[in-house]
């Protein structure tokens, strides 16, 4: 049972990130989503910093700093401004009810544990658990992108997915190029948010299926007369 302090801290931080993924799914207000996301970024930063300290890998502090300043501060503030500017305060349209989404989320957590545990028998307890949690966060991010139809929540879902990836990358001992990858991700996200600013993408145009463009190109006329 006793695995020491180091394990407990890492465990708590990753679990907090996972819990905040659930909080993201639970929230109905955009402002609440953004607050929960900022908090999640903070915990990711803390987890990265803790790994940097325990693994004695100072470059991970850079990852932590990026997560904290970029995703914990700049992006949520920018998105908040978009929300205000485009006047989309109202609650989020959900493709699946909140409770069902949460239930699906629990299912995904169980799934990722079932997936990760048997294949990582050789790795350390911390790595295994971290990986299972990270995969859950990734899957929950995907779930959020699928079930919350709004440009802002899609971006937030993507970023929480990416938080899971960072968690996985810092948790695996000695993974090279983590910093470069987090920078690459930050650039990607910066462009998304920038694009939302410029093009005033209020809604996600429609869903992930091909509806609008197909209708526009006259390829769905038979179904939608």
Partner 1 sequence: MNPIIVILAIPLLAAAVLAALPWRALAARLNAAASLATFLAALTLFADRPAPSAFVFIDDFNVFFVVLTTFVAFTTSWFSASYIEHEVSISKLTPIALRFYHAMYQLLSFAMLLALVANNIGLMWVAVEGATLTTVLMVSLYRTRESIEAAWKYFILGSVGIALALFGTILVYLAAQPVMGVGIEALAWTELHARSARFEPALLNLAFVFLLIGYGTKVGLAPLHAWLPDAHAEGPTPISAVLSGLLLNVALYALLRFKLILAGNADALAPGPLMLAMGTSSLLLAAVMLYRRRDIKRFFAYSSIEHMGIIAFAFGIGGPLANFAALLHMALHSLTKSAIFFAVGHIAQVKGTQKLADIGGLTTTHPALGWGFVLGVVAIAGLPPLGMFMSEFLVITSAMARQPWLAVPLVIGLLVAFGALVMRVNEVAFGEPKGPSSAITASLAPMYLHLSIVVIAGLWLPPPLVAWFQSVAGLLGR
Partner 2 sequence: MRGTAIDLALQILQLSLVLVLAPALTGLTRRLRARLMGRKGPGLFQPYRDLVKLLRKEAVLAENASWLYRSAPYMIFALLWLAAALVPTFTTRLPLSPAADLIALVALIGAARFLQALAGMDVGTSFGGIGASREMMIASLAEPAMLLVIFTMALFIQSTSIPSIAEFVLSQPVGIRVSFALALIALIMVAIAESARIPVDNPATHLELTMVHEAMVLEYSGRHLALIEAASMMKLLFYVSLIAGVFAPWGLAPDDAGIDALAIGACVYAAKLIVAGTLLSVFEASIAKMRVFRVGEYLGGALLLGLLGTIFLYVSQSL
Q: Where on the chain is the footprint of partner 1 (CB under 8 A)?
A: 115-116, 118-123, 127, 131, 134-135, 138, 142, 145, 151, 154, 158, 161-162, 164-165, 168-169, 172-177, 180-181, 184-185, 187-188, 191-192, 195, 199, 201, 204-205, 208-210, 212-213, 216-219
C-alpha distance from residue 176 to each of 87, 134, 148, 207 (Å) = 42, 18, 34, 37
Of 77, 95, 103, 119, the residue at the interface with partner 2 (CB under 8 A) is 103
Residue list 107-136, contact with partner 2 (CB under 8 A): 109-110, 113, 117, 125, 128-129, 132
Angle between helices 151-171 and 30-54 (to 10 degrees): 10
User: Among residues 71 and 128, whose Cβ is nearest to partner 2?
Assistant: 128
The string of DSSP letters for 104-156 reads HHHHHHHHHHHHHHHHTTTS-HHHHHHHHHHHHHHHHHHHHHHHB-SHHHHHH
**2 binds partner 2, rule: CB under 8 A:** yes
The answer for residues whose C-beta is within 8 angstroms of residue 133's C-beta and 6 or more apart is 14, 15, 17, 18, 164, 167
C-alpha distance from residue 85 to each of 57, 89, 124, 133, 191 (Å) = 41, 10, 48, 36, 18
Closest separation between CB of residue 177 and partner 2, Å? 28
Interaction partner, residue 169 (partner 1, partner 2, none; CB < 5-8 Å by kind)? partner 1
The answer for residues whose C-beta is within 8 angstroms of residue 172's C-beta and 6 or more apart is 127, 130, 131
**22 binds partner 2, rule: CB under 8 A:** yes
Residue list 186-215, contact with partner 2 (CB under 8 A): none
**105 binds partner 2, rule: CB under 8 A:** yes
- Residues engaged in binding partner 2 (CB under 8 A): 2, 5, 8-9, 11-12, 15, 19, 22, 26, 28, 98-99, 102-103, 105-106, 109-110, 113, 117, 125, 128-129, 132
């Amino acid at each position: 049972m006793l695995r020491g302090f180091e394990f407990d801290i890492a465990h708590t931080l990753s679990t907090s990130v996972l819990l905040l993924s659930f909080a993201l799914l639970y929230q109905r207000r955009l402002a609440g989503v953004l607050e929960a996301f900022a908090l999640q970024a903070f915990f990711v930063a803390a987890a990265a910093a803790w790994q940097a300290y325990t693994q004695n890998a100072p470059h991970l502090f850079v990852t932590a700093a990026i997560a904290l300043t970029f995703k914990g501060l700049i992006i949520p503030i920018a998105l908040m401004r978009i929300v205000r500017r485009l006047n989309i305060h109202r609650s989020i349209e959900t493709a699946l009810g909140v409770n069902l989404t949460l239930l699906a989320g629990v299912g995904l957590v169980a799934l990722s544990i079932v997936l990760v545990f048997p294949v990582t028998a050789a790795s350390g307890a911390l790595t295994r658990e971290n990986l299972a949690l990270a995969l859950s966060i990734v899957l929950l991010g995907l779930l959020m992108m699928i079930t919350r139809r709004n440009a802002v929540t899609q971006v937030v879902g993507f970023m929480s997915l990416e938080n899971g990836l960072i968690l996985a990358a810092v948790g695996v001992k000695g993974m090279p190029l983590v910093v470069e990858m987090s920078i690459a991700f930050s650039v990607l996200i910066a462009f998304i948010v920038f694009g939302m600013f410029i093009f005033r993408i209020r809604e996600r145009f429609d869903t992930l299926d091909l509806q609008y463009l197909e209708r526009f190109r006259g390829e769905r006329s038979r179904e939608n007369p």
